[in-house]
Each structure stands twice: as structure tokens, then as C-alpha cells.
């Protein structure tokens, strides 16, 4: 027991517990020129490297050790946005031990670096009215557990009696229900767009996109899409429409997602054009089975085009899934199905997905 090490006496005399011993190390440190220095104290380590979401997958930045055992590296300048990063210390990949901004994931930790823009980007905390994010714990009979559903409510939701259109927004495979708000800043993006009158006030419903356990064997994982579809349509939609002041009808419903969530949004959206009028697919595709699965719908492009006011596909040029995404757009093109195919700089990363949402949301619910 070392009580002295864990109790500090404030000047006010209030005893508080603190992690012993205090360390004044700073990481990450963002310079004014947007270069960023990462530091980790590991005096016994032989090799320490950095990997960040702005780097090509499989690459690494070697870090160098100073006389006090602190390893560091300076990178950039980086484009203002949010980036996941990890350290590898003698073969163990870890989050930055002193950065409080930890990206919550299905498995393995990473840290979040936020490089703010000037003027503020849509995902920065700006001086605009802020909506709120309501976290619900919902028992699912379809899936058999109690799980979180995150719901963005626009500024003034509690003050006004209006009904709002709804975007159903799905995360990627490594993510959790918190990801679109924690890493994606979906709420801040909507706050900014609504304040600038670029997007109409809307509700955003963000369920957990895993209907089978993450990391399941392929034969189990194959059940994720149909089970998630059932969960979404039988439980989430009716619940959201009964709990929140939701504007009725398909014109007021959009569906979008990133990576795995883009596979969910394209497939569920296409199977239920009676329910959704806009689809967003970020860094994803409909999957290799899409043409088969939706044969009848695809063959009647005229009916699809009459129903979908927006079918928006976006892909980072450096995304490992680029070719697959482009193939999907080609399939739509060949069948005369109206869509947008947008390419942007970047890989399979949150910087791209924040940008996607900031582009996609303003196009919704104008009819």
C-alpha cells in the first residue's frame, strides 16, 4: 500500500484519487502547422512504431527513443480530420497509453487523433446549436439480447412539436453502436449542417449493426444480413416511430452505412423500396450476390428510379475495396439504375466517412 502516491490534497483541502505517478508527457501534440508529434514512455522497449489511418495499410513510422526512454515521431502536416492510430511496442499493438480519446471497437484498442480545421469542419465542435444523442437499451427478441441504440435528436427537438424525417445509419464491422457518434461525429456534423441550413433537421437512428457475434465463423456471419434486416424492420423502425416524433412514410426515411453497414443499407434498401426513398453506401458495395439477390428489382430500373430519390455511392480512391465498389456502380449503370458514384481521396477510414455523411445528409428529404 502506497497511500501517499494515490492521494493528492487539493489546495481546497478536498482529497482526490489520482493515477500514480503523475506524468507530464503529451501525446498526441498537434503543432500549429498541423504536424503531429506522438510520444510513448517505454524505456525497456527495443522497437516502437506508429501506425495511423492517414498511412497506407501495412506501413509503419519508426519512433526514436530519447535518453529518458520516451519514444517519439513527428508526422504530417495532416489534413484536418479524425484519425485512428496505434503504437506497436516490441510486437504488441496498443492504443496510446495517455491519450484519453480511445476509439471503442469490437476488438482491439486504438486511439483517436483530432486535427481541428480553421474555419471549423462540420465534425468539429462549433458554436452552433447542438442536438443531443440519446442512448437506449432495447431488448431484442429477434437477436436475443439487450443492446444499445444511439439516436441523434436535432437542436430544438424537445422544444418543437414538429415531426422529423429519419436517417437510419449503420457502422462498419469493427465498430460498436457508439461509433457513428464517437468516431464519426455524426451528431456534430448534423448540428453544423442544420445550423448552416445545408441539411434539414432530421433524426438519425444508429443501431448496433452486428446481429451475430463479431468474429463468428463464416457460416454464422452469413446470417448477419438477414438477421439484421429482421431486427431493423421488425424492432428498430416500429420502436423509433413510436418513441420519437417521426414524420411518416418512405419519403421521410433514408438508409445509409459504411463498409459492412453499406452492404446492409444497399441490400435492405433495395429489398424495401416501399420503406426507404434514399440509400447511401460509403466505402462499400452491395456484395457479390447483389445482382442475384435483387434480380427482379434490378430488371425494372424504371420502377426503382421512380422510387429512389437518391442512391449515393462514395469510395476512397485508396480503399482496398475500391474495385468492388466500382463494380457495384457499374452493375447499377449497366441496368439503368440511377445513382451517384463519387470518388474521394482517402482509404477505408473515418476521415472519408465523416466527409461522406457531410455530403450525403444535405441531399436528403427535400421532396
Site for a copy of itself in 135-174 (CB under 8 A): 135-139, 146, 158, 172-174
Beta carbons within 8 Å of 141's beta carbon, 6+ residues apart: 235
Task: Show contacts with a copy of itself in window 72-131 (CB under 8 A).
Answer: 89-95, 97-98, 100, 102, 104-109, 125, 127, 130
- Whether omega for the bond prior to residue 28 falls within 30 degrees of 0, making it cis, is yes
Strand partners, 279: 255, 311
Determine, following the binding rule CB under 8 A, whether residue 5 of this chain makes contact with a copy of itself: yes
Q: Which of 143, 169, 188, 337 binds a copy of itself (CB under 8 A)?
A: 188
Least separation in angstroms between CB 141 and a copy of itself: 11
Task: Show contacts with a copy of itself in window 297-316 (CB under 8 A).
Answer: none
Least separation in angstroms between CB 280 and a copy of itself: 15
CA 278 to chain centre: 19
Binding piece for a copy of itself, criterion CB under 8 A, among 12-20, 73-81, 301-309, 352-360: 12-20
Q: Which helix (H) or strand (E) holds 94?
A: strand 92-94
Q: For a copy of itself, what does the binding mask look like between residues 261 and 300, x meaning CB under 8 A?
A: --xx--x----------------xxxxxxx----------
Residue 20 backbone class (left: φ over 0; alpha: ψ -120 to 50; beta: rest): beta
Least separation in angstroms between CB 187 and a copy of itself: 7
Dihedral pair phi/psi, residue 92, rounded to 5°: -105, 125
What count of Cα atoms within 13 Å lies in the side-chain half-sphere of residue 266? 31
CB nearer to a copy of itself: give 161 or 302: 161
CB nearer to a copy of itself: give 105 or 253: 105
Least separation in angstroms between CB 366 and a copy of itself: 27
Q: How far apart are CA 326 and CA 315, in angstroms?
A: 8
Q: Is the dihedral of CA 186, 351, 280, 363 positive or negative?
A: positive
- Find out whether 313 and 283 touch, Cβ atoms under 8 Å: no
Least separation in angstroms between CB 277 and a copy of itself: 23
Least separation in angstroms between CB 74 and a copy of itself: 21
Any idea what the Cα angle at residue 260 is, between residues 256 and 261, rounded to 5°? 20
Least separation in angstroms between CB 160 and a copy of itself: 13
Least separation in angstroms between CB 40 and a copy of itself: 7
Task: Show contacts with a copy of itself in window 14-53 (CB under 8 A).
Answer: 14-20, 22, 40-46
Dihedral pair phi/psi, residue 61, rounded to 5°: -110, 115
Task: Show contacts with a copy of itself in window 331-350 (CB under 8 A).
Answer: 348
Binding piece for a copy of itself, criterion CB under 8 A, among 185-193, 197-205, 268-276, 351-359: 185-193
Determine, following the binding rule CB under 8 A, whether residue 179 of this chain makes contact with a copy of itself: no
| β-strands 278-282, 310-316 pairing | parallel
- Find out whether 55 and 61 touch, Cβ atoms under 8 Å: yes
Query: How many contiguous H segments (helices) and E segments (strands) does the chain have?
Result: 12, 20
Task: Show contacts with a copy of itself in window 211-270 (CB under 8 A).
Answer: 215, 218-219, 221-222, 224-225, 243, 259-260, 263-264, 267
Q: How far apart are CA 247 and CA 224, in angstroms?
A: 29
Amino acid at each position: 500500500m502506497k497511500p501517499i502516491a494515490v492521494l493528492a490534497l487539493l489546495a481546497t483541502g478536498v482529497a482526490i484519487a489520482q493515477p500514480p505517478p503523475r506524468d507530464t508527457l503529451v501525446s498526441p501534440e498537434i503543432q500549429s502547422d498541423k504536424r503531429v508529434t506522438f510520444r510513448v514512455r517505454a524505456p525497456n522497449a527495443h522497437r516502437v512504431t506508429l501506425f495511423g489511418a492517414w498511412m497506407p495499410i501495412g506501413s509503419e513510422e519508426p519512433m526514436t527513443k530519447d535518453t529518458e526512454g520516451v519514444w517519439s515521431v513527428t508526422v504530417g502536416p495532416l489534413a484536418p480530420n479524425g484519425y485512428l492510430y496505434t503504437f506497436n511496442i516490441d510486437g504488441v499493438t496498443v492504443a496510446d497509453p495517455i491519450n484519453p480519446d480511445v476509439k471503442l471497437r469490437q476488438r482491439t484498442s486504438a486511439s483517436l487523433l483530432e486535427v481541428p480545421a480553421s474555419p471549423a469542419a462540420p465534425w468539429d465542435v462549433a458554436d452552433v446549436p447542438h442536438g443531443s444523442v440519446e442512448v437506449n437499451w432495447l431488448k431484442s427478441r429477434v437477436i436475443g439480447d439487450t443492446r444499445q441504440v444511439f439516436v441523434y435528436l436535432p437542436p430544438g427537438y424537445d422544444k418543437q412539436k414538429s415531426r422529423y424525417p429519419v436517417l437510419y445509419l449503420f457502422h462498419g464491422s469493427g465498430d460498436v453502436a457508439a461509433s457513428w457518434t464517437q468516431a464519426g461525429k455524426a451528431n456534430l456534423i448534423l448540428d453544423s449542417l442544420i445550423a448552416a441550413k445545408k441539411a434539414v433537421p432530421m433524426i438519425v437512428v444508429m443501431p448496433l449493426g452486428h446481429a451475430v457475434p463479431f468474429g463468428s465463423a463464416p457460416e454464422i456471419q452469413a446470417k448477419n444480413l438477414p438477421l439484421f434486416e429482421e431486427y431493423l424492420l421488425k424492432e428498430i423502425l416500429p420502436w423509433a416511430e413510436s418513441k420519437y416524433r417521426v414524420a411518416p412514410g418512405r419519403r421521410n426515411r433514408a438508409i445509409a452505412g459504411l463498409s459492412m453497414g453499406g452492404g446492409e443499407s444497399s441490400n435492405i434498401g433495395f429489398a424495401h423500396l416501399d420503406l426507404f426513398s434514399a440509400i447511401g453506401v460509403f466505402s462499400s458495395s452491395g456484395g457479390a450476390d447483389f445482382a442475384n439477390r435483387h434480380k427482379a428489382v434490378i430488371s425494372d430500373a424504371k420502377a426503382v428510379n421512380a422510387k429512389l430519390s437518391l442512391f449515393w455511392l462514395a469510395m476512397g480512391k485508396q480503399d482496398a475495396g475500391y474495385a468492388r465498389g466500382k463494380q457495384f456502380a457499374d452493375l447499377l449503370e449497366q441496368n439503368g439504375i440511377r445513382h451517384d458514384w463519387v470518388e474521394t481521396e482517402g482509404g477505408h477510414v473515418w476521415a472519408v466517412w465523416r466527409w461522406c455523411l457531410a455530403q450525403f445528409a444535405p441531399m436528403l428529404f427535400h421532396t
